[in-house]
Amino acid sequence: MAKVICIMGESGAGKTTSLRTLNPKETLYIDCDGKGLSWKGWKKQYSVDNKNYLRVDDKDVVLRTIMRVNGENILGDREDMEVQNPLTHFKYVVIDTLNSIMVSDEMKRAKQKGYDKWQDLAASVYLLIKCANSMRDDLTVIFCAHTETIKDDDGYMFTHIKTNGKKLNKIGLETILPVVLLAVRNSDGKYVFETQSNNSTAKTPLGAFEDFEIDNDIQIVLKALEEF
């Protein structure tokens, strides 16, 4: 069972930047937004030539890619890990962002009408996360996602992963994501992760973090989760 982490937050909250300390030689970066990464010199670290960077928002391509990282081909059979599949050496897979996959899939279904459209969209995103959860024990899959903050009639505000369609809202993607961090800029102007719920769906395993806020550095998170 792979470690699966979701970093959610508004645009500009530091989601992508928090991943700057990952080792590029051990990381496959799937850039679904197609905007590139957010730190100086990233193109020398991640590129098609380096075979660790993929710019795509098609859910099927993303799913096939992470299956190959897991040592499978698209039919689910084991491959020769050294000859036929050059992706199995990766320890980390980043999918940035889930929302771009959802929007892309929705646009492809633009002419599809009725309930089945949203049922299919929900199933595809659900399958992607469930597949990540079932990957090799030595893998870490990191999803980035945009958030939305809703306000009820009583003025109560709550932040969660932004989804497309009521069907996905009913599922609640956070229920199948074991670790959810909220990337924010706090009152001191510092970029941090919130590790626990505070009017949000942020959550981490019991005992993983003593502090409500930690620096937005993925290495801190990975170190804390080593025993989980």
Q: What is the CATH number of the domain that holds 197?
A: 3.40.50
Quick: pLDDT tens for 90-112.
999 999 999 999 888 777 665 66
pLDDT of residue 82: 42
Tell me the pLDDT tens digit for each residue of 69-94: 998 754 444 444 444 557 999 999 99
E strand map for 155-198: 157-161, 179-185, 191-194
As given in the structure block, the two tokens for residue 143 are 């999803």
Which residue has 């080593």 as its token pair?
226
Domain that holds residue 48: 3-224
Which tens digits make up the pLDDT trace of 122-150? 677 888 999 999 999 999 999 999 999 98
Total of domains in the chain: 1
The closest of 161, 183, 159, 158 to 173, measured between CA atoms, is: 161
- Span 160-173, average pLDDT: 72
Stated pTM of the model: 0.89
Distance CA 219, CA 93 (A): 14
Q: Map residue 117 onto helix, strand or coil.
A: helix
Computed over its alpha carbons, how large is the radius of gyration of the chain?
17
